[in-house]
Amino acid sequence: MSSVNNEWRSAAVSTGTTIIAVRYDGGVVIGSDSRASMGGEYVSSRVINKVVRIHDKIFCCMSGSLADAQAVTNAVIHKLNFHSMQMGEPPLVQSAASIMREFCYGHRDELSAGFIVAGWDRKRGPQVFEVSLGGMVVEQEFTIGGSGSTYIYGYVDAKFKPEMTREQCLTFTTNAITLAMDRDNVSGGVVHLAVVTESGAERQLIPGNKLPFFNRI
Protein backbone atom coordinates (compact mmCIF):
# COMPACT_ATOMS: atom_id res chain seq x y z
CA MET A 1 0.00 0.00 0.00
CA SER A 2 1.43 3.40 -0.95
CA SER A 3 2.35 6.05 1.59
CA VAL A 4 -0.32 8.30 0.10
CA ASN A 5 -3.03 5.82 1.04
CA ASN A 6 -1.61 5.59 4.56
CA GLU A 7 -1.72 9.32 5.25
CA TRP A 8 -5.11 9.02 6.99
CA ARG A 9 -3.49 6.88 9.73
CA SER A 10 -1.57 9.87 11.09
CA ALA A 11 -4.20 12.50 10.32
CA ALA A 12 -6.04 14.30 13.10
CA VAL A 13 -9.64 13.37 13.72
CA SER A 14 -11.82 16.05 12.15
CA THR A 15 -15.48 16.81 12.54
CA GLY A 16 -15.46 17.57 8.78
CA THR A 17 -18.94 18.72 9.29
CA THR A 18 -22.09 20.66 8.53
CA ILE A 19 -23.43 22.85 11.32
CA ILE A 20 -26.30 25.33 11.29
CA ALA A 21 -28.42 27.47 13.61
CA VAL A 22 -31.43 29.68 12.95
CA ARG A 23 -33.40 32.04 15.16
CA TYR A 24 -37.16 32.35 15.26
CA ASP A 25 -39.60 34.30 17.41
CA GLY A 26 -39.35 32.52 20.75
CA GLY A 27 -36.36 30.25 20.25
CA VAL A 28 -33.53 28.86 18.18
CA VAL A 29 -32.94 25.65 16.24
CA ILE A 30 -29.37 24.36 16.12
CA GLY A 31 -28.21 21.24 14.32
CA SER A 32 -25.43 19.21 12.74
CA ASP A 33 -24.55 15.98 11.03
CA SER A 34 -22.79 13.22 12.99
CA ARG A 35 -19.71 12.13 11.02
CA ALA A 36 -16.09 12.36 12.19
CA SER A 37 -13.31 11.55 9.74
CA MET A 38 -9.52 11.20 9.57
CA GLY A 39 -7.79 12.90 6.67
CA GLY A 40 -11.09 13.17 4.82
CA GLU A 41 -10.74 9.52 3.76
CA TYR A 42 -11.53 7.33 6.75
CA VAL A 43 -14.77 7.68 8.75
CA SER A 44 -13.74 7.26 12.39
CA SER A 45 -17.26 7.69 13.78
CA ARG A 46 -20.74 7.89 12.30
CA VAL A 47 -22.51 9.04 15.46
CA ILE A 48 -20.61 11.97 16.97
CA ASN A 49 -23.04 14.43 18.58
CA LYS A 50 -21.67 17.86 17.67
CA VAL A 51 -24.63 19.70 19.25
CA VAL A 52 -23.30 20.26 22.77
CA ARG A 53 -25.16 21.77 25.72
CA ILE A 54 -22.86 24.28 27.41
CA HIS A 55 -25.52 25.54 29.83
CA ASP A 56 -29.21 24.89 30.48
CA LYS A 57 -30.44 27.02 27.55
CA ILE A 58 -27.23 27.51 25.58
CA PHE A 59 -25.83 25.10 22.99
CA CYS A 60 -22.90 25.09 20.62
CA CYS A 61 -21.97 23.22 17.43
CA MET A 62 -18.38 22.22 16.66
CA SER A 63 -16.39 22.13 13.43
CA GLY A 64 -12.73 21.63 12.59
CA SER A 65 -10.36 19.45 14.62
CA LEU A 66 -12.43 17.31 16.97
CA ALA A 67 -9.77 17.30 19.70
CA ASP A 68 -9.45 21.11 19.59
CA ALA A 69 -13.21 21.63 19.49
CA GLN A 70 -13.85 19.31 22.43
CA ALA A 71 -11.06 20.90 24.48
CA VAL A 72 -12.45 24.41 23.91
CA THR A 73 -16.02 23.29 24.60
CA ASN A 74 -15.08 21.63 27.90
CA ALA A 75 -13.13 24.71 28.99
CA VAL A 76 -16.06 26.98 28.09
CA ILE A 77 -18.53 24.81 30.03
CA HIS A 78 -16.34 25.03 33.13
CA LYS A 79 -15.78 28.78 32.85
CA LEU A 80 -19.43 29.50 32.04
CA ASN A 81 -20.64 27.52 35.07
CA PHE A 82 -18.19 29.42 37.27
CA HIS A 83 -19.37 32.72 35.76
CA SER A 84 -23.00 31.77 36.45
CA MET A 85 -22.18 30.94 40.09
CA GLN A 86 -20.44 34.30 40.51
CA MET A 87 -23.39 36.20 39.01
CA GLY A 88 -25.98 34.16 40.88
CA GLU A 89 -28.10 33.76 37.73
CA PRO A 90 -28.08 31.92 34.39
CA PRO A 91 -25.50 33.25 31.91
CA LEU A 92 -26.31 35.23 28.80
CA VAL A 93 -25.88 33.69 25.35
CA GLN A 94 -23.56 36.55 24.41
CA SER A 95 -21.42 35.80 27.47
CA ALA A 96 -21.01 32.20 26.30
CA ALA A 97 -20.01 33.39 22.83
CA SER A 98 -17.55 35.89 24.31
CA ILE A 99 -15.91 33.25 26.52
CA MET A 100 -15.58 30.96 23.52
CA ARG A 101 -14.10 33.82 21.49
CA GLU A 102 -11.48 34.39 24.20
CA PHE A 103 -10.29 30.79 23.98
CA CYS A 104 -10.31 30.74 20.17
CA TYR A 105 -8.51 34.08 19.83
CA GLY A 106 -6.03 33.44 22.64
CA HIS A 107 -4.97 30.13 21.06
CA ARG A 108 -5.58 31.00 17.42
CA ASP A 109 -2.13 29.76 16.37
CA GLU A 110 -2.62 26.35 17.97
CA LEU A 111 -6.32 25.65 17.44
CA SER A 112 -8.28 24.64 14.37
CA ALA A 113 -11.90 24.84 15.48
CA GLY A 114 -14.95 26.96 14.72
CA PHE A 115 -18.27 27.14 16.54
CA ILE A 116 -21.86 28.25 16.46
CA VAL A 117 -23.32 29.35 19.80
CA ALA A 118 -27.10 29.61 20.11
CA GLY A 119 -29.64 29.76 22.90
CA TRP A 120 -32.14 31.78 24.88
CA ASP A 121 -31.65 34.15 27.80
CA ARG A 122 -33.84 36.41 29.92
CA LYS A 123 -32.30 39.63 28.59
CA ARG A 124 -32.38 39.28 24.80
CA GLY A 125 -34.35 36.11 24.13
CA PRO A 126 -33.17 33.82 21.29
CA GLN A 127 -29.75 34.54 19.77
CA VAL A 128 -27.34 32.97 17.30
CA PHE A 129 -23.60 33.71 17.21
CA GLU A 130 -20.86 32.49 14.90
CA VAL A 131 -17.41 32.14 16.49
CA SER A 132 -14.85 31.82 13.70
CA LEU A 133 -11.51 29.98 13.66
CA GLY A 134 -9.59 33.14 14.57
CA GLY A 135 -11.94 34.18 17.37
CA MET A 136 -14.26 36.67 15.67
CA VAL A 137 -17.87 36.77 16.95
CA VAL A 138 -20.79 37.74 14.70
CA GLU A 139 -24.46 37.67 15.69
CA GLN A 140 -26.78 36.60 12.87
CA GLU A 141 -30.35 35.56 12.14
CA PHE A 142 -28.95 32.25 10.93
CA THR A 143 -25.51 30.88 10.21
CA ILE A 144 -23.87 27.79 8.74
CA GLY A 145 -20.39 26.33 9.09
CA GLY A 146 -18.13 23.37 8.42
CA SER A 147 -16.97 21.77 5.20
CA GLY A 148 -20.53 20.93 4.11
CA SER A 149 -21.64 24.56 4.32
CA THR A 150 -19.92 25.37 1.02
CA TYR A 151 -22.51 23.23 -0.79
CA ILE A 152 -25.61 24.88 0.68
CA TYR A 153 -25.05 28.64 0.60
CA GLY A 154 -27.38 28.93 -2.39
CA TYR A 155 -30.05 26.85 -0.67
CA VAL A 156 -30.03 28.74 2.64
CA ASP A 157 -29.90 32.14 0.94
CA ALA A 158 -32.91 31.21 -1.19
CA LYS A 159 -34.97 29.47 1.50
CA PHE A 160 -34.37 31.58 4.60
CA LYS A 161 -37.17 33.98 5.43
CA PRO A 162 -37.37 36.35 8.40
CA GLU A 163 -39.91 35.45 11.09
CA MET A 164 -40.12 31.77 10.24
CA THR A 165 -42.04 29.54 12.65
CA ARG A 166 -40.52 26.79 14.78
CA GLU A 167 -41.64 24.10 12.35
CA GLN A 168 -40.35 26.05 9.36
CA CYS A 169 -36.96 26.41 11.07
CA LEU A 170 -36.82 22.68 11.79
CA THR A 171 -37.56 21.92 8.13
CA PHE A 172 -35.07 24.54 6.94
CA THR A 173 -32.32 23.14 9.17
CA THR A 174 -32.99 19.47 8.38
CA ASN A 175 -33.13 20.09 4.63
CA ALA A 176 -29.91 22.12 4.65
CA ILE A 177 -27.96 19.47 6.56
CA THR A 178 -29.37 16.69 4.37
CA LEU A 179 -28.33 18.48 1.18
CA ALA A 180 -24.84 19.09 2.56
CA MET A 181 -24.43 15.44 3.59
CA ASP A 182 -25.42 14.39 0.08
CA ARG A 183 -22.57 16.39 -1.49
CA ASP A 184 -19.86 16.57 1.17
CA ASN A 185 -17.96 13.30 1.65
CA VAL A 186 -16.94 14.20 5.22
CA SER A 187 -20.46 15.08 6.35
CA GLY A 188 -22.94 12.31 6.97
CA GLY A 189 -24.62 9.99 9.44
CA VAL A 190 -27.72 11.23 11.24
CA VAL A 191 -29.02 14.73 11.96
CA HIS A 192 -28.81 16.01 15.52
CA LEU A 193 -31.08 18.95 16.39
CA ALA A 194 -31.84 21.00 19.49
CA VAL A 195 -34.68 23.48 19.93
CA VAL A 196 -34.05 26.02 22.70
CA THR A 197 -36.79 28.25 24.11
CA GLU A 198 -37.64 30.04 27.36
CA SER A 199 -39.08 26.81 28.75
CA GLY A 200 -35.92 24.77 28.08
CA ALA A 201 -34.29 22.60 25.42
CA GLU A 202 -35.61 19.73 23.35
CA ARG A 203 -33.30 17.39 21.44
CA GLN A 204 -34.24 15.57 18.27
CA LEU A 205 -32.43 12.89 16.26
CA ILE A 206 -33.34 12.13 12.66
CA PRO A 207 -31.89 8.82 11.38
CA GLY A 208 -30.77 8.44 7.79
CA ASN A 209 -33.88 6.57 6.66
CA LYS A 210 -36.08 9.42 7.89
CA LEU A 211 -34.24 12.25 6.15
CA PRO A 212 -35.93 14.06 3.25
CA PHE A 213 -35.13 12.91 -0.29
CA PHE A 214 -33.91 15.30 -2.96
CA ASN A 215 -33.38 14.56 -6.63
CA ARG A 216 -29.83 15.29 -7.80
CA ILE A 217 -28.00 15.60 -11.10
Residues annotated as catalytic are 17
95 phi and psi angles, rounded to 5 deg: -65, -40
3-state secondary structure (DSSP) of residue 124: coil
| DSSP structure class, residue 10 | G
Answer for the pair 85, 52: CB distance below 8 angstroms, yes or no: no
With 0-12 CB in 10 A as exposed, 13-18 as middle and 19+ as buried, what is 212? Answer: exposed
| DSSP structure class, residue 27 | E
Phi-psi map region of 73: left, alpha, beta (phi>0 left; psi -120 to 50 alpha): alpha
180 phi and psi angles, rounded to 5 deg: -65, -40
Distance from C-alpha of 179 to C-alpha of 40, rounded to nearest angstrom? 18
